[in-house]
Amino acid sequence: MGRNRGLREGLISIRQGFSKGLMSEGEQKEATVAAKEESLQELTKALLAGKVEEAKQSAYAALAKGNSKGELLDAIVEAANIVSDLQELEQYDQGKLIAVENSANASLQTLEDWLAESEKKFNAQVTVGPVGLKAGGLQSIALSAALRSMGFHSSSLTKTQTALDLLRNSEELDADLVIPLLSGNGDEQLKNFADAYDRGGFRSKFEVIPIAPGLPENASTNLTVARNTGEAISKATQWALKRKLRT
């Protein structure tokens, strides 16, 4: 019986190999792309479900299927965005959010060597943290990893806090740049953050680029503001390049 099973498995293997040999180059490329995309989808599902070990193994599997480290990071960031959107619809309670954060951290461990090498580019210390944002911890983890990939030494302060707490904690970490994640309350919350920034005397210590998604286009502020994470990374990079030219 065991011998027959081995014969069957052997024949299946031969047929699969033969089929691959008959595939055109274009079909092989399509199959490879499909396998890569499927592995990233498996990672996304594990992250959304908050399954720590499954997320970590899926991250390794995605790399083994030929996905680049950048593509893997993009998938983790996209999963964080999905959770953020679902959180606004109250689809995640606090316990599930923590599980997703742990899963994201586990999958990011597979990229640690790459991130540690990438973050040396600008010699700039950045802190990222949520201010009054429910799913801000996960967004902070994802944005911090993205900043590291772009050349920043970035620390994620995942616990949601007041503007003053974030600024003080950033000062203790010798931050050069602080990126607060504000809620969608727009102009009012940005004004409150700017007041804390000025009253605490932090303007002379580090730059800030608040992310304020609800900010009206005609809002008046003396701060450099981003409306989403992509814009924040772009503005942080511009700031770092100018800073590098001055030193």
For the chain, give every domain's residue range: 32-118, 119-246
pLDDT value at residue 3: 44
Which residues lie below 8 Å from residue 34, measured CB to CB, with a gap of 6+? Answer: none
Average pLDDT, the chain: 87
| Inter-residue contact 136 to 129 (CB < 8 Å) | yes
Q: Which one is the CATH code of 32-118: 1.10.1240, 1.10.150, 1.10.3470, 1.10.287?
A: 1.10.1240
pLDDT digits (tens, 9 = 90+) for 185-220: 667 889 999 999 999 999 999 999 999 987 887 778
The tally of CA atoms less than 13 A away on the side-chain side of residue 201 is: 0
Which residues lie below 8 Å from residue 157, measured CB to CB, with a gap of 6+? Answer: 127, 128, 129, 140, 166, 169, 170
pTM of the model: 0.83
Mean of pLDDT values over 223-234: 93
Give the number of residues written for the chain.
247
pLDDT band at 8; cut points 50, 70, 90: low
Residue 14 has pLDDT above 70, yes or no: no
Angle separating helix axes 69-88 and 25-49, nearest 10 degrees: 40
Percent of the chain with pLDDT over 90: 62
Mean of pLDDT values over 32-42: 90
Classify domain 119-246 by CATH architecture: 3-Layer(aba) Sandwich (3.40)
